[in-house]
């Protein structure tokens, strides 16, 4: 029985119209399988450990996600969105404790304009990895960017109540200063000081430097540094941060007072190695601020206290005195 010429022509048109899509789908199938064959699905999902196996799996999933986002099949926008969303959810169903993939998925939602979906992904992520500080901060940042200050503050409050630590207090203080002013930031700092197990010298240093740099109040900044020195005089990094602050103010007298206070009785709360770091900073300070007599006295005092440390002598000593940054007089 002969075929209707019209049907044959129509069939030929349909075949030709679908042929490019068919070829693209076959090619994508082969390429996709090459990547999927590298993925070993875990029996029990666990956290990322950083071992070679976990790195290889994370790399394979990243390649698959990137492949789908490139749209190898030339899918329409809505079909592509569904395809990429499916791949992210598939990945996270097997690697639910990998924060980086949650972050990537959230950012992708934001890139395609799904702002509610972006927030929901972060909220789901925090149910799976609630102790991941970076995901909390990412969620707070997104809420703040969109003007949802109350929601962002709720994120920080949750952190302060359940996962308090120096990084939490520092970023909560910064957020409060940005969104609610000086008083709010100082209020958070006050709360931080009342949680001794979660408050370190870093919190005091950040609060002091913010008073100077953001609030333009050098007096309050110095008071905060002094307050912290009572608790963290044995932390050499805190001491040196205070020194740097006073040097920035060109407050030479109080800088020398601080050096002498910290170095009294062989550094008081500092061990010998830490005290040596402070002595070295004092020598550097006098090289740039003191007269020759003062410089020589400081070098001699350091040499007497640390005979086991052989300081430069001869021309090497002069080179240390007269150098500037990466410039040397030799």
What separation in angstroms does the CA of 305 have from each of 239, 275, 302, 308? 19, 10, 5, 9
Rounded CA separation 118/133 (Å): 17
Rounded CA separation 222/255 (Å): 11
Burial 288-326 (b: 16+ CB within 10 A, else e): eebeeeebeebbeebeebbeeeeeeeeeeeeebbeeeee
CB 99 within 8 A of CB 106: no
The pLDDT, as a whole number, for residue 260 is 92
* Burial of 158 (C-beta count, 10 Å sphere; 0-12/13-18/19+): middle
Residue by residue, pLDDT tens for the chain (330 residues) are: 455 666 766 666 776 676 677 677 777 777 787 888 878 887 678 888 889 989 999 999 999 999 999 998 888 999 999 999 999 999 999 999 999 999 999 999 999 999 999 999 999 999 999 999 999 999 999 999 999 999 999 999 999 999 999 999 999 999 999 999 999 999 999 999 998 789 999 999 999 999 999 999 999 999 999 999 999 999 999 999 999 999 999 999 999 999 999 998 554 578 889 999 999 999 999 999 989 999 999 999 998 989 888 777 778 878 887 888 888 887
The pLDDT, as a whole number, for residue 322 is 81
Rounded CA separation 5/192 (Å): 84
CB atoms inside a 10 Å sphere around CB 27: 12
Task: Take residue 48 and report the two structure tokens written for it.
Answer: 């990322």
The pLDDT, as a whole number, for residue 319 is 85
| DSSP letter assigned to residue 3 | P
The pLDDT, as a whole number, for residue 308 is 86
Rounded CA separation 82/28 (Å): 16
The pLDDT, as a whole number, for residue 3 is 53
């Amino acid at each position: 029985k002969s075929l209707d010429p019209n049907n044959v022509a129509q069939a030929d048109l349909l075949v030709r119209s679908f042929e490019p899509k068919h070829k693209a789908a076959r090619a994508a199938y082969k390429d996709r399988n090459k990547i999927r064959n590298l993925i070993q699905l875990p029996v029990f999902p666990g956290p990322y450990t950083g071992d070679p196996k976990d790195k290889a799996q994370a790399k394979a999933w990243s390649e698959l996600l990137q492949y789908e986002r490139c749209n190898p099949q030339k899918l329409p926008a809505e079909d592509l969105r569904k395809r990429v969303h499916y791949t992210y959810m598939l990945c996270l169903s097997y690697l639910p404790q990998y924060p980086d993939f949650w972050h990537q998925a959230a950012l992708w939602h934001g890139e395609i304009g799904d702002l509610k979906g972006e927030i929901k992904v972060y909220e789901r992520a925090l149910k799976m990895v609630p102790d991941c500080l970076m995901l909390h901060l990412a969620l707070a940042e997104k809420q703040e960017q969109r003007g949802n200050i109350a929601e962002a503050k709720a994120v920080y409050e949750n952190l302060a109540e359940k996962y308090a630590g120096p990084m939490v207090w520092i970023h909560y203080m910064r957020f409060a200063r940005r969104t609610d002013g000086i008083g709010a930031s100082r209020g958070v700092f006050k709360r931080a000081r009342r949680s001794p197990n979660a408050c370190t010298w870093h919190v005091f240093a950040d609060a002091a430097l913010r008073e100077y740099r953001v609030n333009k109040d050098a007096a309050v900044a110095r008071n905060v540094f002094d307050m912290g020195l009572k608790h963290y005089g044995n932390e050499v990094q805190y001491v040196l941060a205070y020194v740097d602050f006073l040097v920035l103010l060109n407050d030479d007298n109080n800088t020398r007072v601080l050096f002498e206070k910290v170095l009294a009785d062989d550094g008081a709360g500092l061990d010998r190695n830490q005290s040596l770091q402070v002595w070295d900073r004092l020598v550097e300070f006098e090289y740039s601020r003191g007269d020759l007599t003062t410089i020589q006295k400081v070098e001699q005092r350091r040499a007497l206290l640390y005979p086991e440390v052989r300081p430069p002598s001869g021309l090497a000593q002069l080179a240390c005195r007269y150098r500037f940054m990466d410039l040397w007089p030799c």
